[in-house]
Amino acid sequence: KAGVTQTPRYLIKTRGQQVTLSCSPISGHRSVSWYQQTPGQGLQFLFEYFSETQRNKGNFPGRFSGRQFSNSRSEMNVSTLELGDSALYLCASRPGQGISYEQYFGPGTRLTVT
Amino acid sequence: DAKTTQPPSMDCAEGRAANLPCNHSTISGNEYVYWYRQIHSQGPQYIIHGLKNNETNEMASLIITEDRKSSTLILPHATLRDTAVYYCIVRVGYNFNKFYFGSGTKLNVKP
Q: Which tens digit of pLDDT belongs to each residue from B81-95?
A: 999 999 998 876 544
**In whole angstroms, what is the distance from residue A93 CA to residue B6 CA?**
26
Are B97 and A44 a contacting pair at CB < 8 A? no
CB of A102 closer than 8 Å to CB of B49? yes
Mean pLDDT of B30-42: 87
A56 vs B110, residue with greater confidence: B110
CB contacts, 8 Å: A58 with chain B: 98
pLDDT value of residue B92: 64
B96 vs B72, residue with greater confidence: B72
CB of B5 closer than 8 Å to CB of B101? no
CB of A46 closer than 8 Å to CB of A60? yes
Using the Cβ of B91 and the Cβ atoms of chain A, whether some distance falls under 8 Å is answered with yes
**In whole angstroms, what is the distance from residue B24 CA to residue B99 CA?**
13
Point out the least confidently predicted range of A2-11, A19-28, B14-23, B33-42: B33-42
pLDDT value of residue A42: 78
Collapsing DSSP to helix, strand or coil, B90 comes out as: strand
A98 — pLDDT class (breaks 50, 70, 90) = low
pLDDT value of residue B95: 46
Q: Which of B42, B49, B103 sits opposite A102 (nearest CB)?
A: B49
Mean pLDDT of B37-65: 92
Is residue A1 over pLDDT 80?
Answer: no
**In whole angstroms, what is the distance from residue A43 CA to residue B78 CA?**
25
Are B94 and A106 a contacting pair at CB < 8 A? no
Q: B65 vs chain A: nearest CA distance in angstroms?
A: 20
pLDDT digits (tens, 9 = 90+) for A9-29: 999 999 999 999 999 999 999
pLDDT value of residue B26: 86
* Total CB pairs under 8 A between chain A and B: 62
